Amino acid sequence: MKITKWISGALTAVTMVAAATAARAEGGTLVMLVQPEPPSLASYLSTSGPIGLMAPKIYEGLLDYDKDLQAVPSLAKSYKVSADGKTVTFNLQKGVKWHDGEPFTSADVQFTVMEVLSKIHPRGPNSFREVESIDTPDEHTAIFNLKNPAPYMLRALSGYESPMAPKHLLEGEDYRSAPLGNKPVGTGPFKFVEWKKGQYIRLDKNEDYWKEGLPKLDRIVGRFIPDASTRTAAMENGEVHYGAYGAIPNIDAVRLREMDSIGVTTDGYGMINPMALIEFDTTEPPFDDPKVRKAVSMALDRQFLIDNIWFGYGQPATSALSSNFGATGLHDAEAANYPSGPNVDEAKKLLKEAGAEDISITLDLIPYGEDWRRAGEYMKQALGDIGIKADLRYEDVPTWLKRIYADYDFDMNVNYFYQLPDPVLGVHRHYGTDQIRQGTHFVNSSRYSNPDLDALLVKGAQEPDAEKRAAIYSDVQKILGDDKPVANLFEMNFLTVYDSSLKDHDTSALGAYGSFSEAYFDK
Amino acid sequence: MSRTARRLRYVLKRLLQALPIVLAIVVVNFFLLHMAEGDAVDVLAGEAGSATPEYMAELRAKFGLDQPLPVQLLVYLKNVFSFDLGYSFRHEMPVLDLVLDRFVPTLLLMVSTILLAVGFGIVLGLLAATGLNTWRDTLISIFALVTYATPLFWVGLMFIVIFALNLGWFPTSGMKNVAAFNDTWSWANIKDVAHHLVLPTVTLSLFYLALYTRLMRASMLEQAGMDYVTTARAKGLTENRIMFVHVLRNALLPVVTMAGVQVGALIGGSVIVESVFAWPGLGMLAFEALFARDLNLLLGIFLLSALLVVAVNLVVDIIYSSLDPRIEVG
Amino acid sequence: MTFWSLFKRNRSAVLGLVILLAIVFMAATAQLFFPEDPFRLIGKPMSSPGENGFLLGSDSLGRDVASGIAHGAKTSLLIGLMATVVAVGFGTIMGGLAGYYGGRIDDLLMRVTEMFQTIPSFIFAILLVAIMKPSIESIVIAIAVVSWPAVARLVRGEFLSLKTREFVQACHTVGMSDIRIILGEILPNCLSPIIVIGSLMVATAILIESGLAFLGLGDPNIMSWGFQIGAGRTLLRSAWWVCTFPGIAILVTVLAINLVGEGLNDALNPRLRERT
């Protein structure tokens, strides 16, 4: 089958016209919540959340994605995939300049992908694992030569996931400590101006932005406010206009959404796809027995967690894959051998069969906020009902990371993973035998290893045909539903809370991780 | 020997004595921090999303975290003695720059807090002492105790709700209006910062108010029982004159001492008030450094605050000796 | 005059004592009135006080706030007491030895004390809890570690002045051993300021515990007031009762302990005694 896809330049033209007509509402300063303060703005080597909020306003990717997750042009005007799927040619925009005035060329693309992203980016080595080389026949053409077809790669080219970095500022430097990390220079709609540690990051409008008439805002300021209640108050008071990724706790969002001046949306997380889950240590009793893992999964009332801790935002998990993969046909609702509601009797029966009655375990909780503690407290009670005595453990981030991913010193661990826009990018890392990588964070810490599943995962990654691919992942979901090395809890809905006069901040599938080039205040 | 020379010698002696303390702080905290699980690289890698063990090993080598502990300590000490506090692992910035950057906001908050708490504490303590065992005394004592016993973050959040949201008198948080970007020394900026300073200062000073009120009251009572008061009375001085000239002057001494000691201790900032009001002080910096295992930064903060405490204590002692000529330094 | 009749003269101190006894009673009988585990989800979440049979309302998971306060009283008092006992014990030893022996020992011990006083104390407590991992033991230790220097300084001062007094000198002449002089002669004579500082320390310890819990450093398996406040603070605007009642519990307890402490001070401090 021949997969060829050209994106017409017309789309850009449309945007330009729209920009011109909306010019009346231009200007103003957008203050957004950034929490916690990022370690740097080097999005080419870290996918840290707060970096993701600021950096995509400065750096751009080859592509962007619209609300339906379809690719639209960004630094690449268009792209073309060869018949065998092994060559992808990107046609780059002309006249794009870095914020320091240097021209952006195909050499930057080659350097960024080959030297930076596929080497030191946390997910880059996976996204670009099939890329053998990149040819640059001229300044505006970059040809990716692949070992195998990699359809998922084309979903990982946004300014957040794979930002293009300036070769002239990184080459020859230690990428990790280059001054660029704290003083970013990109091609995006906003230029870095100042970073006042402990207070804010200031970005000003890029007057020479290559998209005519954009950006509309004069300035974006990212503010750091450590306390959640204070963030909410600042939002209510109009001191900040935008908070995403849980910056405003759900309980407050539920209250704020009643106000006319504030909007709340769950849009803009389609490419993130967060899933709350429990990881089990499958190598030792009691959780080496799938029956015990299933019993735990069955004992929990997922809807209770969603309603009382996340205040209604979320859907109970129905399989190892998020139902958001339904859009690409990968989520198999039929395979869903997931419990629909809690079933204490059934769970007890399973435990009895496994000979695991009256056991004591420790339940570790991800140290990313109070909600997870509440979830742990609920689970402790629910597990008590089926005869599992759970002790809660809540440690700080470094201690927890080391325990779960380096020392493997845990029984069960509450966590959440981003499933990302494709299972290859976000789900495989959880289950593959090759993903048992001691010392690497957020991979297969359950140490589940199943050769049948491994074979399916390899096939799934390379299969270009949508229907065949769906069949493969249906099998994957069956195996994982039966074995449950990880018990998915619920599909999380992150919230974006914003000043309702702020418009067009959500034009991209990336939501808060988008460029905000079209955002404006309609006052 | 002249008084000045004696003083100078005293100051030198005190500074020399302080040296081992500061050194011990560095060493103890160095080992304490290394007892904590995980290191800065774990945090950075965890935040980044994922990183290979090779990459993490490289980072550790770069930060020197792969060296044996004693070597790391020696390297650190060597740097400290050449006045180099090293680099923050997390911020990729010199520790000194980071700390100095936060020093001004910390000082602003702490000095205004202490001034407010001491000022009001003296007045309240005086009122309580002069009306000993009357309703005024009881009321003041209860008020001071209530402000002390109310958890700080609760007061802070309530102030935000009342004074920022409901009344709209003050901004909720931060140190300045980020939409404005006034020049640092412009009048507009000074006013803006002062406006932001009010709520955190009042919140924090409520906590210390009780201490100064009680100290002042007790100190007044103590002095009132002294022989010189009886003598003054016998000489026929008016009660007011005795109270406000003789007793007050002497009663202020312990209050001043305490204020000095506290300014020193407060350099470490107040994590809770800084957290609630997003005030960019050293407390939050230290707090974040701890959880990021940013060892150099945390050690740097401890070291500098220790030096400041030593310095402030010294200054207090000297002031003390000028207030009360009976006390001789040296 | 007897101690009690002296103490009784301070009416607010008596009031403080009554409140304190009531709290202790509440802690002791928590199991009787609230036999369920206070973590148990027993009703409709976020019920306001009086609603659905919850005297003081329920929290976001449907736990009884009143039960939490009753059971939490035990934890909070225990943390306060244990931390104080450890701090006072250690501080007394350090200060006593320094004051009694003087010279090099004094120098050394006081340098150590100063060192602990030079580190910002709340941050240091956070550091200790983070290193030892949040648990009731680590919280007690952390609070004790940041509290003992004040005791040591006080005790040293007392020892310094007492050891020059005639009755101590007399003990030396009859050949009494140091340990007997310290424990049998000097220590009993400086007990009153130690008791006063200790009583106030209990209050401070309870406040520190709530501060740690606010920052997420409480023991996740044990109900305490700090835990309730930490868990309820995000609800402050939508369900005020969840963290307000434990806050009031802390306030009242700290207040009561302080009043008692002041009463002790008045009753035990001889100079004040003569005057009032």
Whichever domain contains A439, its CATH number is: 3.10.105.10
Taking any CB pair shorter than 8 Å as contact, residues of chain C touching chain A are 39-41, 45, 60-62, 130, 133-134, 216, 220-221, 230-231, 233-238
Average pLDDT of the residues in A216-239: 92
β-bridge mates for residue A204, sequence order: A191, A219
Residues of chain A numbered 247-276 and touching chain C (CB < 8 Å): 249, 251-252, 254-255
At A491 the pLDDT is 94
User: CA B59, B63, B64, B69 torsion: positive or negative?
Assistant: negative
Query: Does residue B282 surpass a pLDDT of 80?
Result: yes
C122 and chain B in contact, CB less than 8 A: yes
State the pLDDT at residue C31.
87
Backbone φ and ψ for A97, nearest 5 degrees, come out as -120, 145
> What's the pLDDT band for A22 if we cut at 50, 70, 90?
very low
pLDDT greater at residue C139 or residue C111: C139
Lowest-pLDDT choice from A78-82, B297-301, C235-239: C235-239
Mean pLDDT over residues C91-96, rounded? Answer: 92
Contact B289/A at CB under 8 A: no
Q: What percent of chain A has pLDDT over 90?
A: 61
Domain presence at residue A179: no
A21 — pLDDT class (breaks 50, 70, 90): very low
Residues in A touching C216 (Cβ below 8 Å): 367, 370, 373, 394
For residue A449, pLDDT over 60 is answered with yes
Verify that A346 and A462 share a domain, yes or no.
yes
Which residue among C134, C221, C234 places its CB closest to the CB of A370?
C234
Which residues in chain B are closer than 8 Å to C259, comparing Cβ atoms? 145
Measure CB to CB from residue A233 to each of B56, B164, B291 and give the nearest one: B164
Mean per-residue pLDDT of chain B: 83
Burial (CB < 10 A; 0-12, 13-18, 19+), residue B4, is exposed
Task: Judge whether A114 lies within some domain.
Answer: yes
Residue A110 lies in a domain: yes
Measured between CB atoms, which of A36, A122, A398 is closest to B293? A398
pLDDT at A16: 40
Residue in A199, A230, A442 closest to B172 by CB: A230
Contacts of B277 in chain A (CB under 8 A): 230
**Is A199 within 8 Å of B92 when comparing Cβ atoms?**
no
- Give me the mean pLDDT over the C10-32 stretch: 89
Min distance A31 CA to chain B CA atoms (Å): 7
Other beta carbons within 10 angstroms of residue A461's beta carbon come to: 23
A20: confidence class by pLDDT, cuts 50, 70, 90? very low
* Residue A499 and residue A514 in one domain: yes
The interface residues of chain A toward chain C in range 398-457, judged by CB-CB distance below 8 A, are 399
Q: How far, in Å, CA of C50 to CA of C241, rounded?
A: 11
> Do A487 and A499 share a domain, yes or no?
no
- pLDDT of residue A328 exceeding 90, the answer is no
Using CB atoms, pick whichever of C61, C216, C237 lies closest to residue A374.
Answer: C61
Mark yes or no for CB contact B32/C127 under 8 Å: yes
The answer to whether C104 touches B252, Cβ cutoff 8 Å, is no
Clarify whether residues A338 and A363 are in a common domain: yes
pLDDT in the model for residue A4: 39
Amino acid at A226: P
Mutate to test the interface with C, among B34, B154, B290 (most CBs of C within 10 A): B154
Domain boundary assignment for chain C: 3-275
Report, as an integer, the average pLDDT of A163-180: 88
| A228 and A86 fall within a common domain | no
pLDDT band at A347 (very low <50, low <70, confident <90, very high): very high
Q: How many CB pairs under 8 A join A and C?
A: 58
A133/A235 same-domain check: no
What the block records as the tokens of C58 is: 């329920």
- Decide if domain C3-275 falls under CATH 1.10.3720.10: yes
Reported ipTM: the value is: 0.85
Query: Which has the higher per-residue pLDDT, B318 or A217?
Result: A217
Q: Are B53 and B260 in contact (CB under 8 A)?
A: no
Among A71-80, A126-135, C162-171, the range scoring the smallest mean pLDDT is C162-171
Beta bridge partners of A412: A280, A363
Distance of alpha carbon C210 from alpha carbon C246, whole angstroms = 10
Vertex A352 angle, CA A350 and A353, to 5° = 65
Give the minimum alpha-carbon distance from B291 to chain C in angstroms, rounded to a whole number: 8
pLDDT tens digit string along B10-56? Answer: 888 878 877 888 888 888 888 888 888 888 888 888 887 777 787 78
Q: What's the token pair of residue B61? A: 């080598």
pLDDT class of B147 with cuts at 50, 70, 90 = confident
Flag if B278 and A223 touch (Cβ within 8 Å). yes
Q: Please report, for residues A230, A236, B55, the alpha-carbon distance to residue B164 in angstroms, rounded to integers and kept in the order given.
A: 10, 10, 47
What is the nearest CA distance from B208 to chain A, expressed in angstroms? 23
User: Considering only A6-15, A187-196, B287-296, which range has the smallest mean pLDDT?
Assistant: A6-15
Residues of chain C positioned with their CB less than 8 A from the CB of A249: 234
Examine the domain organization and report whether A133 and A84 are in the same domain. Answer: yes
Picking from C216, C231, C238, the nearest residue to A255 by CB comes out as: C238
And the tokens for A472?
């493969």
- Per-residue model confidence (pLDDT) at position C274: 43
The domain total for chain A is 3
Percent of chain A with pLDDT over 70: 94
User: In degrees rounded to 5, what are phi and psi of residue B329?
Assistant: -80, 155
Q: What is the CA radius of gyration of chain C?
A: 22
Report angle CA A366, A369, A374 to the nearest 5 degrees: 80
Point out the residue among B33, B149, B309 whose CB comes nearest to the CB of C250: B149
Residues in chain A with CB shorter than 8 Å from the CB of B42 are 397-398, 401-402, 406, 441
Q: Which helix (H) or strand (E) holds B97?
A: helix B95-130
Q: Is residue A15 part of a domain?
A: yes
In the predicted structure, residue C81 carries a pLDDT above the cut 50: yes
Asked if residue A3 is part of any domain, the answer here is no
| pLDDT at A5 (0 to 100) | 42
Q: Does residue A158 sit in the same domain as residue A293?
A: no
**Backbone φ, ψ for residue A275 (5° rounding):** -130, 125
Q: Given an 8 Å threshold on Cβ–Cβ distance, is A308 in contact with C134?
A: no
A286 plus A390 within the same structural domain: yes
Does any CB of chain A come closer than 8 Å to the CB of residue B37?
yes
Q: For position A361, what pLDDT does the model report?
A: 94
Q: Under DSSP, is residue B145 helix (H, G, I), strand (E, B) or coil?
A: helix
Contact C233 A391 (CB under 8 A): no
Q: Comparing B134-143, B237-246, B259-268, which segment has the lowest mean pLDDT? A: B259-268
In a domain, A182, yes or no: no
| A2 has pLDDT over 60 | no
- Quick: pLDDT tens for A398-443: 889 889 998 999 999 999 999 988 898 889 989 999 889 888 888 8
**Where does residue C167 rank: exposed (0-12), middle (13-18), buried (19+ CB within 10 A)?**
exposed
Residue type, A489: L
What is the mean pLDDT of the segment spanning A246-266?
Answer: 91
Q: What is the mean pLDDT of residues C193-214?
A: 86
Which domain covers residue A153, as residue numbers? 63-170
Q: Is the backbone peptide bond immediately before C270 cis, with ω within 30 degrees of 0?
A: no
**Helix or strand run (H / E) with residue B133:** none
Report pLDDT for A387.
92
Give the contacts of A189 (CB within 8 A, at least 6 positions apart): A57, A205, A206, A209, A211, A214, A215, A515, A516, A517
What values do phi and psi take at A427, rounded to 5? -105, -40
pLDDT tens per residue across span C32-61: 888 888 888 888 888 888 888 888 888 888
Residues 142-161 of B with CB under 8 A from C: 142, 145-146, 148-154, 157, 161
CA pair distance C79, C20, nearest whole angstrom: 15
Q: pLDDT confidence of B326, banded at 50, 70, 90?
A: low
Between A171 and B186, the more confident residue is A171
- Residue C233 confidence class, pLDDT cut points 50, 70, 90: confident
Residue A478 scores a pLDDT above 70: yes
Residues B316 and B319: their CA atoms lie apart, in Å, by 5
| A229 interaction partners in chain C (CB closer than 8 Å) | 233-234, 236-237
Instruction: Check C237 against A377: CB less than 8 A apart.
Output: no
| CB-based contact, B21 to chain A, within 8 Å | no
Q: Using alpha carbons, list the distances in angstroms from residue B177 to A33, A159, A402, B113.
A: 14, 29, 40, 21
Between residues 72 and 101 of chain B, which touch chain C (CB distance below 8 Å)?
A: none
Q: Write the burial class of residue B157 (CB in 10 Å: 0-12 exposed, 13-18 middle, 19+ buried).
A: buried
Nearest to B46 by CA among A400, A97, A168, C174: A400
Any A CB within 8 A of B63 CB:
no
Has residue A177 been placed in a domain? no
Do the domain assignments include residue A130? yes
Which residues of chain A make contact with C220, given a CB cutoff of 8 A?
365, 373, 376-377, 392-394
Which of C123, C215, C224, C228 is most worth mutating to test chain B (most B CB atoms within 10 A of its CB)?
Answer: C123
| Mean pLDDT of the A295-315 span | 92
C229 → chain A, closest CA residue: A370
Candidate from A41-55, A336-350, A410-424, A508-522 with smallest mean pLDDT? A336-350
Per DSSP, the three-state class of A245 is: coil
CB contact under 8 A, A399 and B38: yes
One domain for residues A265 and A321: no
Give yes or no for residue A285 having a pLDDT over 70: yes
Between strands A496-499 and A262-265, the pairing is: antiparallel
Single out the residue of B49, B73, B90 nearest to residue B291, CA to CA.
B90
Rounded CA-CA distance A285/C34 in Å is 35
Task: Kindly write down the DSSP assignment for every residue of chain C, as one continuous string.
Answer: --HHHHHHT-HHHHHHHHHHHHHHHHHHHHHHH--S-TT---S-TTPPTTGGG-TT-B-TT--BHHHHHHHHHHHHHHHHHHHHHHHHHHHHHHHHHHHHH-HHHHHHHHHHHHHHHHS-HHHHHHHHHHHH-SSHHHHHHHHHHHHHHHHHHHHHHHHHHHTTSHHHHHHHHTT--HHHIIIIIIHHHTHHHHHHHHHHHHHHHHHHHHHHHHTT-S-TTS--HHHHHHHHGGGTTT-THHHHHHHHHHHHHHHHHHHHHHHHHHHH-HHHHHH-
Say which CATH number the domain at A49 has.
Answer: 3.40.190.10
- Interface residue of B35, B37, B43, B293 to substitute, partner A, most A CBs within 10 Å: B37
Taking the Cβ of residue B44 and every Cβ of chain A, the question of whether any pair is shorter than 8 Å is answered with yes
pLDDT at A163 over 90: yes
Query: A431 and A379 share a domain?
Result: yes
Place B179 in a pLDDT band, splitting at 50, 70 and 90.
confident
Contacts of B119 (CB under 8 A, 6+ apart): none
Per residue in B105-123, pLDDT (tens digit) is 988 998 899 899 999 999 9
Q: CA-to-CA distance for C142 and C204, rounded, in angstroms?
A: 13
Spatial separation of the C-alpha atoms in residues A121 and A134, rounded to whole Å: 18
Cβ atoms of A470 and A330 within 8 Å: the answer is: yes
- Neighbors of chain A by Cβ distance (3+ pairs < 8 Å): B, C
- Average pLDDT score over residue span A487-513: 91
DSSP state of A97: B
Cβ atoms within 10 Å, residue B232: 18
Beta carbons of A229 and C221 less than 8 Å apart: no
Please give the full DSSP string across A145-213, using - where no structure is assigned: EESS--GGGGGS-STTTS----HHHHTTS-TTT-GGGTS---SSSEEEEEEETTTEEEEEE-TT-SSTT
Tell whether A313 and A166 lie within a shared domain. Answer: no
